[in-house]
Amino acid sequence: MSMLKVNNLEVAYGGIQAVKGIDLTIEKGELVTLIGANGAGKTSTLRTLVGMEKKSGGSIVYDGQDISGVPVYDFVRRGLVMIPEGRGVFAKLTVEENLRMGAYYRNDEDGIKADIEHVYELFPRLKERQKQLAGTLSGGEQQMVAMGRAILSRPKLLLLDEPSMGLAPLIVEKIFEIVRKISAEGVTMLLVEQNAKLALEVSQRGYVMESGRITMSGNSKDLLDDERVRNAYLGE
């Protein structure tokens, strides 16, 4: 059974169709990427998957269940977690409070503490800054907080929206290293990226999205070698 099966998904804002009927499948344990230019409909797709936008057509089956009409706050309990574009950390909460927000629905204090320690191992930088307000951190550190917070939610399927946006190349490397680590820990992931090269290198499969449609899909290695992808997204 697939972790996520999207069939002919459509999303519209007013009269404008942002997503024009896409199919997407993610198997358990996979790291899949969705690449495409600005305005291709990638973020709209993700937001619809976690209930933040209403779909105007098609179906979404997550973990064997149709999740239409599930309220936003219920997704995290079902293990479907998104790290939004621009990180979405709570600026007025401290680093540790942000991490605890990720575990809001959990009641196992021991497990939460262990997971916080685990995040501090992954990002020693956050441990140093645990009592600092997240709004005072650098962009890279905020991305670490966002990822740490997602780990605290114990996701089954993690949706990552543009984790590299606005970050220095060195930090991006570090972030992708963690993406790889989280994936290796068995979390299924869907990674949306504009940085197509990095995304295809880290993932197993990829989808290419253009003006609301999926135009190509396949193994990431093949896509990396594909002439059209190279021309359009890798700048070669």
Q: Which residues would be at the binding site for another protein (CB under 8 A)?
A: 50, 52, 71-77, 81-82, 84, 88, 90-93, 97, 100-102, 104-105, 129, 131-133, 135-136, 149, 153
Q: Which CB atom, from 76 or from 192, has the smaller least distance to another protein?
A: 76
Would you say 95 or 208 has its CB closer to another protein?
95
* Residue type at 174 in one-letter notation: K
Tokens of 200: 């295809």
CB of 106 to another protein, least distance (A): 9
Rounded distance, CA 188 to CA 158, Å? Answer: 6
Query: Sign of the CA dihedral 40, 61, 56, 23?
Result: positive
Judged by beta carbon, residue 29 or residue 135, the one nearer another protein is 135
Between 152 and 172, CB nearer to another protein: 152
The answer to whether the CB of 179 falls within 8 A of the CB of 191 is yes
Q: In what order do the strands lie in the sheet with 80-83?
A: 80-83, 157-161, 188-193, 31-36, 205-210, 213-219
Closer to another protein by Cβ: residue 90 or 118 = 90
Specify the pairing of strand 80-83 against strand 157-161: parallel
Distance in angstroms (rounded) separating the CA atoms of residues 103 and 137: 21
CB of 190 to another protein, least distance (A): 15
Greatest alpha-carbon span in the chain: 51
CB of 132 to another protein, least distance (A): 6
Q: Is 183 helix (H, G, I), strand (E, B) or coil?
A: helix
Minimum distance from CB of 74 to another protein (Å)?
8
Query: CA-to-CA distance for 5 and 148, rounded, in angstroms?
Result: 26
Minimum Å gap between C-beta 31 and another protein is: 21
Q: How far is the CB of 33 from another protein (least distance, A)?
A: 21
- Closer CB to another protein, 21 or 88, in the complex: 88
